[in-house]
Structure 1
Amino acid sequence: MKKKQLKLSTIIILFVCIIVLVSLVITDLLISRTINDNIEASIEEKAKVVSRTVSHSTIVKNGLENKDDTNKIQEYTLDIQKSAEVLFVVVMDMEGIRKSHPDPERIGKHFVGGDEKDVLQGMESMSISKGTLGKSVRAFSPVYNENNQQIGAVAVGISLNRVEEALKQSHRNILVGSVIGIIVGIIGAVIIARYIKKILFGLEPITIAKILEERNTMLQSVHEGVVAVNRDTSISLVNKSALKIFSEAGLNSDPIGLPIKEYMPQTGLERVMETGEPELDEEQTINGVSILVNRVPLIVNKEVVGAISTFRDKTEVNLLAEELTGAKSYAEALRAQSHEFMNKMHVILGLMKMKEYIRLNRYINELVSFQVDEVSTVTSKIKDPALAGFIMGKLSYAREKGIALFIECHDFIPEPRDPAITHELITVIGNLLDNSIEATTDCKDKEVLMELFYQDGRFELILTDTGKGISEDIIQDIFLKGYSLKGEGRGYGLFLVKKSLEKLNGNLHVESKKGSGTTVYVQTAYEEGDKND
């Protein structure tokens, strides 16, 4: 049977209560002893002060020297006894005969206790003794006349019963304080337990341990490399996929604890921690190994406490390669041609049903003539069938959008030696044409002119449109990844154009003014294929 685990709140409450209880017990013992000593010292001091005060009284001195004033001593000491709240105040002569006593019948009798000897010899003293009124703490002070001759003594007693009662009351107060402390400790423990559970999202320790194991298993099983750094930019976590990529790049196989700047100088995680902004789908090279990286800051309570980097070696690259090959552009061109073809077939079908055979004959001749001219213009100048077919597809797409697209091939363009060049050119031409067509859609003059040139292994393209134009201050920004004025999810086409031209060792120049259209100049290397192919 599985052993039941205590809840975090229960554990915290138990520990806090035990700690508070032990602390209060120890405190109670220490304080009780101290208070006992303090109370005893206070009572002794009180008795001593009262005895000294009475010994300096003129009434007492006169009463001891003059028998006629003896009654005044009794009245005076009773007042002092009452006001000072002591057990007795006894004045005695040099023979130990009482001149005052709480019980008037005992006046004139010898002082009881036997501890008065020292004071009758002129010395102050303290003692605990039992007399006629019970056991008490006694303070003795000698009485001197004006000639500094001792004429008697004063004894002040405080009942030990009152001392014990004071000690008990003090102990009760300590116990009450201890109970209140335990209650406050329990309440504090509950509050702390709830606060800790809130920080831990209400999770119990066993659940946190399970989540940690699941996280570690998940991190080690994913194909994406994961690296995390702490507040000091030291590597705190690396999964197996990341270690595999690092191994391929020739890096140390145990980077935990190393500063990320020393291990991977170009990682960018330090920058992410400084800015607090994520960096997504960034390309990076580690000792010749190309990866795509996502970097995000780790923020706790609005404070950056670390950063995490995830990266892939092949998956994202393959997805980007598929985008660069122009597969989407092929599909769009084919769709436009199919749509245009269906529209023409509908016209032919309509003319046939109306039996307008003469007009039908003329329409078909026009179509054939136009198609032959359009096809011959492209195919006669462009030998690469993929590129030629793609451009004809764009012609259909432009007509579908209501844009007049003119293609002028000033030179014969041979088939390239490497088919990858065709794919890159399709990416360049496709994205540039799409932008030009979109830019002229809402304009009065909807014309786009694309001129193609080839000479001595160099391919050149000039694309001019009558669109809205681009502000000069943002021309350099339009090729940044994700930059777009058309809304979210845009801004990747010209970025891909830039990347394709970098692979082809080409360059691009844009001339545009707001409201005056745009002209794009493209030049790139174009190695001609074997003429015997």
Structure 2
Amino acid sequence: MRRLVNASLGTQFFVLQTVIVFLAVGGTAAVWMEHTRELLDWQYQQRALAIAESVAGLPQVREAFSRARPELSLQPIAVGVQAATGADYVVIANRDQIRYAHPNTALIGKRLSTDGSQVMTDGRPWTGIQTGTLGRSVRGKAPIFDSAGKVIGLASVGILEETVADQLSVALPPLFWTVLAVLVAGSAAAALIAQRVRRQTFGLEPAEIAALLEQREGVLHGVKEGVLALDLAGRVTLVNDAARDLLGLSQHDVGRSLGEMRLSDRMRDVLDGADPGDDRVVLHCDRVLVLNRTPVAVRDRQSGWVVTLRDRTELVRLARELDQASTTTGALRAQAHEFANRMHTVVGLLELGEYETAVSYITQTTEAYSRHAAGVREKVADPTLAALLLAKSAEAAERGATLVLSDDSRVEEGMIGDPHDAVLVVGNLVANALDALQESGGTVEVSVRTEADGLHIRVGDSGPGITPSLVHEVFLEGFTTKVAHAGPRGLGLALTRQTCSRRGGWVRVHNAGGAVFTALLPTGEPPPSPEGEPAGPGEPAERQVRR
């Protein structure tokens, strides 16, 4: 047994299956033999009974019972029937069970060795197996009636068990060869199955398979990137811990199709291959995910797909902070450049001795900047948003453009909710408007005002506008008309839409002498929303497909 346990998987399969085939065939053969023996016993019992009833029905037998010495007439009749039918013995006895005929003449006149009173009493035939003076035999007994219908004796016919056994032995050779053929075929089938198991397990033993499974589980659940596997029908077959955390899934989602899971249309399109490609950017709840979908082939046959998910939320946040820092740096650089020009002008005037002109120039310049900053602070009381607009104004001036804060702008301090959200929305919309001018100059008009339902934002530019067919697509993650470079692109407007939707607001765009973006950013607590980033009120819930 220990050798079998330590044997290879194929050998164990072969030995166990061979044993199972042997037990099954041996058990079947034993049942067949027992059934055949019982059938032969029944057949010989019926044969013996038929002979006994024939003897009991002979008129000569009934007449012999009325004579003085019936054995003289019955013995020849019994011997003749025995020889004619092939029975091993034919016995005739009277009602007192005294033999009148027997193969052993010495027993004539003696009492039967087996009880026949049941036949005498009931007057009905009997069959069974008994052991008598000639040995164990299959017997049939029939009552003998006189002309009045009274039982006057019995006829007993027997066939020895050796005769039945000889008949059974005749049927054994075909059974033996059949069993042998089945054993050979079963062993061959067991060998083929063992060979197939070796191929399917790549020759690995159970301990090696278990070790590989443990290693796979350890690797899958140990990596920080999310891993999600799909079969050809689009059902989830595997999800590691990182993917569950990123997508908000559970172990119960394994085996479910993508259509049954609470995912955004954009996420579902990337997962099922409707949006193919590498490094697909998807916004899921508050996270920025990068997905890659790769086919999985086993033995040159595709068996499904594996999707890796990387969390780039922190990277995008840092990129936004870097953009903001770059904007501030650009504004400072523009101001420094402008200040240097003004200082050169002042120095020149002083060198020329135009002292009064220099003083007048400095006064006008200072008052102009102060009036601009005061005008912004008068309309926008929130310092964070006001600082952003001043920085964007300086950036626009450096690009040769003009940023105008509309007269209807009114922002009360403390009425914009989370300033980070307001800065994100306004900053992205203004940056998008400046990019639309394409360094050719122009005007960006910004309107920000707080009302009872939140912060209303309108940003328009004098650029070429947006193609009508792309009005909805500009808000999709990954969509961009800019030249690609390192880092995630096409996220600014998508993040703007996500931020507005998360707070229960909306963002829209239309053309009016250029692109005009309008947005509502509610100032209250964000309403609970189902997983999958649903569209906000008034926002088209178009299918999110990255172009």
TM-score, length of structure 1 as denominator length: 0.49
* TM-score (structure 2 length as normaliser): 0.48
